[in-house]
């Protein structure tokens, strides 16, 4: 039996994941700050806070690639004290890529209390791994220790007022994917997705499959 060929072997969200900081839709402030950091990276810890699907994780990956950093990605729900110890231990070695290490911790608000405690000392100047940038992402900061928060530079990823820009972006994707002139109402689609770009691209993917 032959394998069926799917029209979308890769989701649109994956296919169109921005690779550089400048490529992101909206996010003017984060882009300005992170372009400066990418131009002159320094050992530091950052917390990207914002609603789902606005580009926090992708932005951290773009930063890693722009600084040619060695990436240590601690995925959602895997951030315990052991994972922190291991990543920080590895960061004491010269990065394979030469420049910087980038430790990315997704869903940082879900990390265990022990992981947060472990980080308190690691993020202090005396124990901070050299040439390392930490990026934590989360949707909200409520469950994070004030002592942890005060060791991070916080960047708000706001999607407020982005519907127009998202619609323009969806229009480009729609055309690039062979959509015809009478497409869906993209402003409405962006608004219905509450400016969650991932959700909007998922909806667009479904719309494209109706053609």
Q: Does 33 bind ligand ATP (CB under 6 A)?
A: no
Q: 198: which 2 tokens? A: 């991932």
CA 187/CA 168 separation, integer angstroms: 8
Q: Does 18 bind ligand ATP (CB under 6 A)?
A: yes
Q: Does 31 bind ligand ATP (CB under 6 A)?
A: no
Residue in 21, 26, 95, 170 binding ligand ATP, rule: CB under 6 A: 26
Q: Does 52 bind ligand ATP (CB under 6 A)?
A: yes
CA 97/CA 20 separation, integer angstroms: 18
Q: Does 57 bind Mg ion (CB under 5 A)?
A: yes
Residue in 104, 197, 204, 208 binding ligand ATP, rule: CB under 6 A: 197
Q: Is the Cβ of residue 115 or residue 201 nearer to ligand ATP in the bound state?
A: 201
E strand or H helix at 60:
helix 56-66
Residue in 97, 112, 139, 141 binding ligand ATP, rule: CB under 6 A: 139
Q: Is the Cβ of residue 57 or residue 131 nearer to Mg ion in the bound state?
A: 57
Q: In what order do the strands lie in the sheet with 153-156?
A: 70-74, 101-105, 132-138, 44-49, 153-156
Tell me how many degrees the CA angle 50-115-159 measures, rounded to the nearest 5. 5
């Amino acid at each position: 039996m032959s394998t069926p060929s799917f029209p979308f072997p890769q989701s649109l969200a994956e296919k169109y994941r921005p690779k550089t900081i400048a490529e992101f839709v909206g996010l003017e402030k984060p882009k300005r700050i992170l372009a400066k950091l990418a131009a002159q990276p320094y050992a530091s810890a950052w917390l990207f806070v914002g609603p789902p699907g606005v580009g926090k994780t992708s932005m951290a990956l773009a930063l890693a690639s722009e600084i040619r950093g060695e990436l240590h990605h601690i995925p959602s729900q895997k951030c315990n004290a052991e994972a922190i110890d291991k990543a920080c231990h590895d960061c004491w070695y010269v990065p394979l890529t030469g420049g910087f290490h980038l430790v990315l911790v997704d869903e940082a608000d879900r990390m265990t209390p022990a992981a947060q405690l472990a980080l308190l000392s690691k993020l202090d100047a005396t124990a901070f791994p050299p040439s390392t940038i930490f990026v934590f992402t989360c949707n909200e900061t409520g469950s994070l220790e004030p002592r942890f928060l005060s060791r991070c530079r916080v960047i708000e990823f706001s999607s407020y007022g982005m519907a127009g820009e998202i619609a323009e972006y969806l229009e480009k994707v729609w055309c690039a994917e062979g959509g015809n002139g009478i497409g869906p109402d993209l402003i409405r689609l962006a608004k219905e997705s509450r400016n969650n770009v991932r959700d909007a691209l998922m909806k667009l993917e479904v719309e494209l499959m109706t053609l």
